[in-house]
Amino acid sequence: MKIVATQKMAFSDRFIPRIKNGMKKHTVRKSKQTVGKTIPFYDAYGVIPFDEKRITAIQDIVIDIDNGNMVTILSVKIDGNQLPYATIKEFVANDGFDSVDDFIQFFKAYGKHYEGKLIHWTDKRY
């Protein structure tokens, strides 16, 4: 008999209260998930479970950050569609960030170009 480990998602402590209170409606990941599957959520170390959510949808996401001379330009495309700035602000809040600048600082760690999946556990779509 083959034993399959349950795939789990780990979250930074800053996001845990926002998941619990419903402010964080989705997450951006490189990992592959399956719509309809229930995923256990853990602390950043993957040790302490704090919730579980059923994956309701998965969308492709591309994040580009251009650090120009005087201004940083953020581009977010979901399923190939460029989000206007007002929708980017909504998306950032729904992803659990305090501001667009907070989001940019977080994703700058991944470089100027990030491709992944937007994993939903609510009915919110872009």
Q: What is the pLDDT of residues 32-76, one digit of tens each?
A: 899 999 999 999 999 999 999 999 999 999 999 998 777 889 999
Neighbours of 3 (CB within 10 A): 4
Neighbours of 14 (CB within 10 A): 14
Please state the domain extents for the chain. 9-120
Q: Could you give the CA distance from residue 112 to residue 56 in angstroms, rounded to a whole number?
A: 29
Determine the distance from the C-alpha atom of residue 39 to the mean position of all C-alpha atoms in its chain, rounded to a whole number: 14
Q: Tokens 């789990």 label which residue?
A: 8
User: Residue 39: its pLDDT value, please?
Assistant: 95
* The token pair that represents 43 in the structure block: 């602390």
Pick the CATH number of 9-120 from 2.60.40, 2.30.130, 3.30.420, 1.20.1270: 2.30.130
Its pTM stands at 0.90
